Amino acid sequence: MNLRPPLLCPAVLVVLLSACAGWLPLEVEGDAGAARVQLEAAAASGPVALSVRDAPAEFPPERVAKALAEGVVGLEAQFEPTSRVRPASALLSFAPAEPDSLCRGESATAPPASPTLLLLVWCGDGEAVAAVTVPLASTAPQEVERAIWRAARRLFPDRYAERYGIDLFGLRVGVGASIGF
């Protein structure tokens, strides 16, 4: 194939930029801000309940709880694995399911032989406040741990800028940087 120089430059540019793309942003179903506020309230009174469903054998609930605590930025939250869903609790499932049905205590469909996704849900009073799904490339412990961190950061976003941004005549001013082309 003989590409002419005018076509070669855009083709090379597309290849180079696609290599820098990284992960796709995770979509949150529900209100992540409300989930963070409820998590902060629950964490203030002690360890937060965490129900883990269909986890791979090499990733027991205690390890899930530790990874989830590490993934929450700006809050020293501790999670305690439980067998049932409580009114204000986190729920992590490795099987596809509807977040509201999981918060009501209903079990998911039959767990897959090899999980392909991770579903993190914040439950409040029997219904899902917010949920995020992360695709899993493999069930290697490091991959699962990174997926839990990503889910936690997205489901419970840090409220630092909201709390400590500069309030200049009613306008919230923060510090940020951007690079563009």
Walking along the chain (181 residues) 10 residues at a time, the average pLDDT comes out as 54 50 71 94 94 87 95 93 88 91 79 80 93 91 93 89 62 69 68
CA neighbor of 39 nearest in space, from 128, 120, 122: 122
Residue 85 lies in a domain: yes
Residue 170 lies in a domain: no
Q: What is the pTM of this model?
A: 0.75
Give a yes or no: residue 24 inside a domain: no
Q: Which domain holds residue 137?
A: 31-103+115-154
Q: What's the confidence (pLDDT) of residue 25?
A: 67
Indicate whether 35 belongs to any domain. yes
- Residue 95 resides in a domain: yes
In a domain, 1, yes or no: no
Q: Report yes or no on 84 lying in a domain.
A: yes
Tell me if 178 is assigned to some domain. Answer: no
CA distance 90 to 122: 5
Number of domains in the chain: 1
